[in-house]
Structure 1
């Protein structure tokens, strides 16, 4: 008879001790001690936590400065654009943005469909604003996302509130009482699909639980003590940086959710699989961060209700607002394919970038040298570049087997009229769930409610593994699948209202990203993040994939602040680094424990 291996009890005891009390030791990335005469560098500070506190505390003032360095910023997404203007704000003006595509915006992708004013967000579409908890009716602000709203205020001020560039926010309706839930639910006595309000009034109409057993309930409760702990979620909302550091110290980056259930709590394979496959997460921090916003829907059994915002006219208005300030230092249609360090006659390191314009016989190679390069593109793109040898950890993070990313697919269909806003159960915003698991969710527009004769878009959005499957579909097949799901949910007569106009984007097929957002694996935060804080070959890597949080504009902006501060410290502009730190990370400095 086989028995459990005898190493298990010792391992479990060691892990549980680490999980309960936390491990305060640093990661394997060694920090140098800083004397009064040393130049402080970002790598000296706590990359996994509140590095901005250490920047604020720097006392050095007599460090040689290099204020006139030339800087290449590769990528005109929000992280590259924001870094450029942050540098501009403290007197570093000798920068250029090199963008592979014909536009600014990166993964901001607002599409106006069929020559109308109806727009679909094929990229980011919403921002959490605040959350009200049921336990005490208190409201918590999503402090990290205030970076995005601060950026909008700053751009509006820089642009003199010119309506052409003005950024305004409007409510995003995450859920509407009349949104329809068809998948896995019961039916009303007359056979209709239940609404969200119907299910809240009669929970027996809702989806059946994944499993019913004492072991399942016990294991699920243990998971929720970590993943849905109100104190933890509030801590993430108030300060994700310190919350992230605590999660690292608790060992939550060292073990997967699946391994926790199976090895630590000794749950059966069946129960472990049932819980693990009910979401697309296996890293505790990622799901905790997700739960701090998207799982606070106000439904019975949830801890609170999140209020959301979106951009009036689409998220591209944010990055378009940079254009008046970067256009003279912006190169479009220049896809960088090589970065190499070079040594000057004075034995100083510089960077040389190469890119192509044109194609075939008309392709021309261009090169240009800069003192520093800030790489603001995801590793899914740097993997196609000819790069020098970076440190082992950073090289592995960039490698195809390194930092993990995830895709997403969206299809938006244009209808001649907004039939969903009519009838006895009108829907204004929110999203419905059709029978089709492949289609997933169908989102309704957040603008133009009840306007007579106004057309409208319904958008299918699917992430996780489904988004890896959809590129195998032709565009026509994908569009037809979505139209079928809408007709099944709202009635076959809606086919007559479909205009034939649509937008489709599977991010895996996007030539400039090949992904939608970063989704790290076990141990990748603890190992990789400190390497982004080290400047190698005069190159700094930024982007949402380098931040402790992912898939949000605030993640990209964190990385912009970090990248700008990192460069300024590198060139001895300490007071300017502290100025940017105070302007953008000042809120965190006020939240010390």
Structure 2
């Protein structure tokens, strides 16, 4: 799948698939094509989605090879007491799905995330609506006017920090941010250059077309992925270094694309999450994949035979073991580049090799703490869900209360710290777990009062994704130029290998990104096999329902 075939790797690639001519059955042996041996390496969401698409397209010989002992990859719900419906859990990976956004009094679906809801519907149908396997969505509360604002030690007479609503009503409760006139002027110039509300609508309707438009001239007429935030401000807007450092806020080496799509998502009007935890999404795949999945098989080497046109995967369970081999017609690599870069793989073209070696990843850490009750829901200004509590305590980041089982009884788990980037992910990795958890607990007591100390059950979970030997990262964060350069490479099949995962998509860090990549990788393989009708049917099923094709 390349631009030469009419498939736009920088934009709405599925439009090009729809325009392809149907397969010539006299030149394609469909039965033979559907018997090829395909290994999907990795049972995260992109690997699982690839399996579903390929098997529903009629491929008969597809297997999943997973290095760990569970499905889901970076989808990771931690249950601190009981199970899914005892409701003392937190999401240590993805947490939520932006659903709709209201702009100029009109509400739009955020279309790229709708395919996740469609996937849940499909799994529920395939599992015959089994209660044990159901994937059901409930509201996620992203913001609350009663979230606490704890900055500079400011407290009310009742001992608690002011709420978001109280700060909005009384500016004396807020720590003022004073910007130089030149900094404010730069902020206004950047806002003026960036696409406005019409582009927000376009992203909501078709993120892929919006991405292409951003590359073509989305930065005030300039190509969006050729100007880093630093270069645009300093070299184009002629800003000084200090103003640029303040306005870029650490994103100097990146394009504005991340700011734009994250800005859309976090401006969402409504959100959803999965009742019982996001783990229930990969859990629902078990009946479909268990007979075709090998667990605890860690791939470390890949070989390719040009004469046989086959891929050999070499794996072992422990570094003390000898390698075991398996040979396949194709391998779909659904593993983050943070891991693939450690493999020994056959010579690849320099551009895809550079993508594997050079795409950076963000480090993130989360600490979840369990309490005897949902005490935050019983404050004078109760907090129901949300990540609205903020603090200037270093290294804490976001604080999120559960959006499920509101007003329920029994223990509940707060996300006491969720922090990424800014070197904090790496800092906390170097800190012993007990020390890190104690730091977060002390911060929660400082913010919420002694009730947090009294209610703490002693149960916690810390997950710093850099410490995960199967991930070594949280999500991909391409730097300037890497989207424009590397995206077309992901649409090519290299030595009978196809690369999928959120790192190969147009957006990053979201389940929708992984799901989209699995659809794209499946269509890519189907076209490689000459199964054009099946590829078009896959696009019709998974992309056309939500996005105009």
Q: Same fold (TM over 0.5)?
A: yes
For residues 137 and 416 of structure 2, the distance between their equivalents in structure 1, rounded to whole angstroms, comes to 20
For residues 494 and 187 of structure 1, the distance between their equivalents in structure 2, rounded to whole angstroms, comes to 16
**Match of residue 405 from structure 1:** 361
* Aligned 1:461-472 pairs, distance under 5 A: 461-464=418-421, 465-472=423-430
* Aligned 1:477-488 pairs, distance under 5 A: 477-488=435-446
Report the 3-state secondary structure (helix = DSSP H, G, I; strand = E; otherwise coil) of the residue aligned with 1:144: helix
Cα distance, 1:588–1:423 mapped onto 2, change above 3 Å: closer
Structure 2 counterpart of 1:574, from 521, 526, 532: 532
Task: Give 1:306 deviation, angstroms.
Answer: 2.1
For residues 121 and 92 of structure 2, the distance between their equivalents in structure 1, rounded to whole angstroms, comes to 24
- Structure 1 length-normalised TM: 0.87
8 Å Cα contact 2:229-2:251 kept in structure 1: no
**Match of residue 205 from structure 1:** 173
For residues 154 and 189 of structure 2, the distance between their equivalents in structure 1, rounded to whole angstroms, comes to 29
Structure 1 counterpart of 2:290, from 296, 319, 327: 327
For residues 516 and 476 of structure 1, the distance between their equivalents in structure 2, rounded to whole angstroms, comes to 21
Structure 2 counterpart of 1:357, from 304, 311, 317: 317
Cα distance, 1:204–1:228 mapped onto 2, change above 3 Å: farther
For residues 71 and 451 of structure 2, the distance between their equivalents in structure 1, rounded to whole angstroms, comes to 40
Report the 3-state secondary structure (helix = DSSP H, G, I; strand = E; otherwise coil) of the residue aligned with 2:446: helix
* Aligned 1:35-114 pairs, distance under 5 A: 45-62=7-24, 63-65=27-29, 66-114=33-81
- Structure 2 length-normalised TM: 0.93
Structure 1 counterpart of 2:304, from 341, 352, 371: 341
Structure 2 counterpart of 1:241, from 208, 211, 226: 208
* Aligned 1:118-267 pairs, distance under 5 A: 118-133=88-103, 136-184=104-152, 187-188=155-156, 192-209=160-177, 211-227=178-194, 229-250=196-217, 251-267=223-239
8 Å Cα contact 2:109-2:204 kept in structure 1: yes
**Match of residue 401 from structure 2:** 444
For residues 291 and 246 of structure 2, the distance between their equivalents in structure 1, rounded to whole angstroms, comes to 55
Report the 3-state secondary structure (helix = DSSP H, G, I; strand = E; otherwise coil) of the residue aligned with 1:481: helix
Q: Which moved more, 1:575-584 or 1:424-433?
A: 424-433
Structure 2 counterpart of 1:371, from 302, 309, 329: 329
Cα distance, 1:312–1:238 mapped onto 2, change above 3 Å: same
> Is 2:272 the partner of 1:309?
yes
How many pairs align? Answer: 534
| Larger Rg over CA atoms | 1
8 Å Cα contact 1:262-1:268 kept in structure 2: yes
Q: Render the CA deviation track for 1:296-353: whole Å, top value 9, x for unaligned.
A: 2xxxxxxxx521100111111000100101000000000001111114xxx4401011
For residues 30 and 453 of structure 1, the distance between their equivalents in structure 2, rounded to whole angstroms, comes to 55
For residues 250 and 2 of structure 2, the distance between their equivalents in structure 1, rounded to whole angstroms, comes to 39
Flag structure 2 segments of 5+ consecutive residues without an equivalent: 218-222
Task: Give 1:225 deviation, angstroms.
Answer: 2.7
Task: Give 1:395 deviation, angstroms.
Answer: 0.5
**Match of residue 544 from structure 1:** 502
8 Å Cα contact 2:253-2:479 kept in structure 1: no
**Match of residue 220 from structure 2:** none
For residues 126 and 404 of structure 2, the distance between their equivalents in structure 1, rounded to whole angstroms, comes to 27
For residues 521 and 358 of structure 1, the distance between their equivalents in structure 2, rounded to whole angstroms, comes to 34
Aligned-pair Cα RMSD in Å: 2.0
Q: Which moved more, 1:312-321 or 1:351-360?
A: 351-360
For residues 179 and 59 of structure 2, the distance between their equivalents in structure 1, rounded to whole angstroms, comes to 61
8 Å Cα contact 2:230-2:252 kept in structure 1: no
For residues 2 and 543 of structure 2, the distance between their equivalents in structure 1, rounded to whole angstroms, comes to 25
Report the 3-state secondary structure (helix = DSSP H, G, I; strand = E; otherwise coil) of the residue aligned with 1:567: helix
* Aligned 1:510-549 pairs, distance under 5 A: 510-549=468-507
Cα distance, 1:452–1:542 mapped onto 2, change above 3 Å: closer
For residues 10 and 310 of structure 2, the distance between their equivalents in structure 1, rounded to whole angstroms, comes to 29
For residues 444 and 121 of structure 2, the distance between their equivalents in structure 1, rounded to whole angstroms, comes to 38
Cα distance, 1:231–1:105 mapped onto 2, change above 3 Å: same
8 Å Cα contact 1:252-1:284 kept in structure 2: yes
Task: Give 1:262 deviation, angstroms.
Answer: 0.9
Flag structure 1 segments of 5+ consecutive residues without an equivalent: 1-28, 35-43, 297-304
Task: Give 1:204 deviation, angstroms.
Answer: 4.2
